A and B are shown apart, each in its own frame.
Chain A
């Protein structure tokens, strides 16, 4: 039996430590992992908990991220709680197996500490890895600070292991900005956190020796389509209500309110920024400053990136005149993913806002308040003109030529 880790009501944790404690409190059965910056401290902390008697499970230090997720898949299919962590290049190496995990309907929790993907090699935060995972069939929950990381890990286990869901979940946090920045985190005691997640209930478990199962079959044109369609349908129809239910449960337990879409001063907003990660809080600060000047500015933070909450987003942006989508990943050949998602969410609605796209923060470049002020000024001009007054896609914080498009 693992020892109880006595936590203070409020700890000072960075995002990695918050994730590590959440995994410990979830009493994960198997963690198979491979270290990579900036997610490394998650597994280092976990190893340290283990070395000091706070972990009962197995900790498999794999030879690569691909091997780590492969072990996670085998362990999950065997029938128990499984989690791991990665970033960037490691995430890219894992990618093949991410599709396997979701296609095999295995509820694995993966902490992704978002980082740029080379070349050029870069260890700092952007959302390239998160975007790379967006078609992989995983639930993707986004965090803005260490408190979110702690809470969303608990939510992720509770949601993805539900027998009506059985899909893996990623919990995203920004590399260094969240993962290495210590902040106040309100904690739950070990037993309360565990009870919130609940016991793992196996299903189609390989280790049920009286009921052998075959995992990871081949399907060709006769059945592949039905499998993929059912998986997508489960993701689209069952997940958001289950996440909402978990958010409600967490609120009842802690008072902390999370939403599928985090609207901030959006009730009467005419101009809005839509973004993810730590940028949400920066944008919120700027919108406060603008509100003080009587400018009707708001912020919409994406909390759940997959499944994308199309209806909730459209609802949050109802009545807006100009919207900026901020993407922290190079689209490499089109507009940013958030721009595309927003355009899709709003197209058949009565909201006919001017929609523009900003690419920012690649490779850890800071997004400053002054940059966000500039974006809001663009939005004011767009709202007034009723059409884009700027190129459709711009880089923010880029040195040298502007390199804008359209």
Chain B
């Protein structure tokens, strides 16, 4: 029987695998780190799903599979519904006494990229959450359609150069602000919504475990730094993730029952957003006279959001 070990990092890193290292993800891809941490956060059996995207095409190419747990993929938009359907079947078979292992209670988890979550699969996720399926949805948020070559999604932040919103002589790249998926999912009244990052692994495991212990739909937005599309060296994934969380570009917090907001990580030394942007090729063009004003706007937006989160947290005390 699988046994997760989460005492310390060394112990955690040698925990048994239900997600095999034998997969086709890029070296340095944060997806595999996050997925492994999610799967290792519980000793229960898992019924998993994935939407079309990097994770799916890299882990289930016939005749191979990287998953040592039942797993399903249908299409780009409906990974949530696939898992919701399986969860509905579990409830029936339990009720009818037809489970093959009635003494065990599996957990249901759907994975999707930000394209599958913020854009094309949004309606399906909303349906699953409104209906209250007992499942966890994990968005592997790399802020771009990475699987198809870096097109912008509604998670792509302003100023990023993406293949459908490239920076150029008269354009600074993506023009829209990143969609606030956390607020939207919290507005569904979901019992647990949390933002996590793989560099803050204790925080992440704690939230995943909290999610598994929660009855009803749980939404996890996991920052997944993308070496290929964010354009940084594969060995820098965790360093870039540190810059994201410590500059507060990617704040770590949770929202309980749609109302109570807790900030779960407060960096000791908050670093400038400029440092985060400067470490990635997708923002390279911002460091020119023409577009430099955008860096200040970035900083102001991040400051305002952090302020808002703190006020929200206080409002629930």
Contact = CB atoms under 8 A, between A and B. Distances in A.
A217 B73 contact: yes
Given A63-B126, A97-B78, A218-B57, A29 B89 contact: yes
Contacts of B93: 29, 78-80, 207
A170 B140 CA distance: 36
A118 interface: no
Residue among B45, B96, B101 with most chain A CB within 10 A: B96
Contacts of A58: 88-89, 91-92
A71 B72 contact: no
Contacts of A216: 60, 72-74, 82
B132 to A, nearest CB: 11
A347 B84 CA distance: 48
B130 interface: yes
A357 B229 CA distance: 55
A397 interface: no
B22 interface: no
A64 interface: yes
A207 B47 contact: yes
A73 B85 contact: yes
Contacts of A76: 85, 89
Interface stretch (B63-71, B220-228, B292-300): B63-71
Interface string B70-104: 11111101100111111111111101101111001
Contacts of B90: 78, 207
Given A64-B123, A207-B86, A217 B65 contact: yes
Interface in A295-310: none
B115 interface: no
B131 interface: yes
A60 B88 contact: yes
Interface string A207-222: 1111011111111100
B88 A30 contact: yes
Contact of B92 (A57, A71, A74, A219): A57
Given A66-B78, A217-B62, A218-B61, A30 B106 contact: no
A61 interface: yes
Interface residues of A, number: 46
Contacts of B63: 223
A74 B84 contact: yes
B49 interface: yes
Interface size class of B (residues with CB under 8 A): 35 or more
Contact of B85 (A60, A104, A208, A214): A60
Interface string A62-85: 111011001111111111101000
B82 A61 contact: no
Given A209-B100, A212-B71, A214-B67, A32 B62 contact: no
B127 interface: yes
A79 to B, nearest CB: 7
Interface string A39-56: 000000000000000001
Interface string B183-207: 0000000000000000000000000
A302 to B, nearest CB: 30
A42 B62 CA distance: 38
Nearest to B88: A58
B12 interface: no
Interface in A177-230: 205-210, 212-220, 223, 227
A213 B93 CA distance: 18
Contact of A213 (B70, B75, B85): B70
B56 interface: yes
A100 B93 CA distance: 24
Contact of A62 (B68, B70, B81): B81
B75 A100 contact: yes
Residue among A62, A64, A214, A227 with most chain B CB within 10 A: A214
A212 B70 contact: yes
A34 to B, nearest CB: 10
Contacts of A206: 47, 70-72, 86
B268 to A, nearest CB: 42
Given A30-B88, A74-B74, A212 B104 contact: no
A268 interface: no
Nearest to A103: B74
Contact of A78 (B45, B47, B65): B47
Interface string A83-107: 0000000000000110010001000
Interface string A16-35: 00000000000001101000
Nearest to A223: B62
Contacts of B86: 74-75, 77-78, 206-207
A64 B95 contact: no
B131 A70 contact: no
A218 to B, nearest CB: 5
A61 B131 contact: yes
Nearest to A99: B75
Contacts of A227: 62
Contacts of B49: 74
A74 B83 contact: yes
Interface in A274-308: none
Given A97-B78, A210-B101, A218-B56, A63 B72 contact: no
A189 B127 CA distance: 36
Interface in B15-39: none
B250 interface: no
B306 interface: no
A216 B60 CA distance: 8
Given A74-B83, A214-B65, A67 B127 contact: yes
Given A60-B84, A215-B72, A216-B72, A67 B89 contact: no
A73 B104 contact: no
Contact of B127 (A64, A208, A212, A213): A64
Closest 3 CB pairs of A and B: A74-B85, A63-B127, A70-B81
Interface of B: 45, 47, 49, 56-57, 60-63, 65, 67-75, 77-78, 81-93, 95-96, 98-101, 104, 106, 123-124, 126-127, 130-131
Given A30-B88, A77-B72, 16 more contacts: A60-B84, A60-B131, A71-B81, A71-B82, A72-B85, A73-B72, A73-B82, A74-B72, A74-B86, A78-B89, A82-B85, A96-B75, A97-B74, A207-B99, A218-B56, A219-B62
